[in-house]
Amino acid sequence: MVFSEEVFKRKSEFGGSIELICGSMFSGKTEELIRRLNRARIAKLKVEIFSPKADTRFVEDALVSHNASSISSTPVDSASAILLLANGANVIGIDEAQFFDNELPEVCNALANKGIRVIVAGLDMDFKGRPFGPMPAIMAIAESVTKLQAVCVQCGNPALYSYRLVPDDARILLGEKESYEPRCRICYHH
């Protein structure tokens, strides 16, 4: 099929997309995000990566998975800062999306509408099993959703919950294996 220049211009202007990678803690979300971003770089696409400045568990200027894979990223205070820093990227990666403000879905839509491939990763549920931050809205507008599962540390079944081990009722509590463990539905509720 031959595209006219006008049709090609429209396709590039609106050819963006939103991909969501979600799941519980320790399910491999950041690992999958890094894999997709590295593939985009192999394809010689310009990639920009962002994470919330509030996530201070690892190094400030990189995404680091639990398997120690890493990739450089830019920490930002708000979702709107991503629009300002997109710098002509073909692909935008966003990690720990649940920690961003509720403008993130609009930012993702604006980027995708400019022809940018937007890959978002984050927890779909908080430790109480409730939808987390802007994740449900992003899930609704995404062209594709990949829901990853961890392994339940209690029984070995697929885990979709992040069970909090420490007695703290704050919705956001940064932590790793000392504070959380993945659990299946049965082990989470019992």
Instruction: List the catalytic residues.
Output: 96
Question: Residue written as tokens 């639990």?
Answer: 66
Return the structure tokens found at 63: 């995404």
Q: For residues 187 and 161, what is the distance between their CA atoms, to the nearest angstrom?
A: 9
The single-letter code of the amino acid at 152 is C
Contact 107, 141 (CB under 8 A): no
Residues in CB range of 135: below 8 A, 6 or more apart:
20, 22, 97, 98, 122, 123, 124
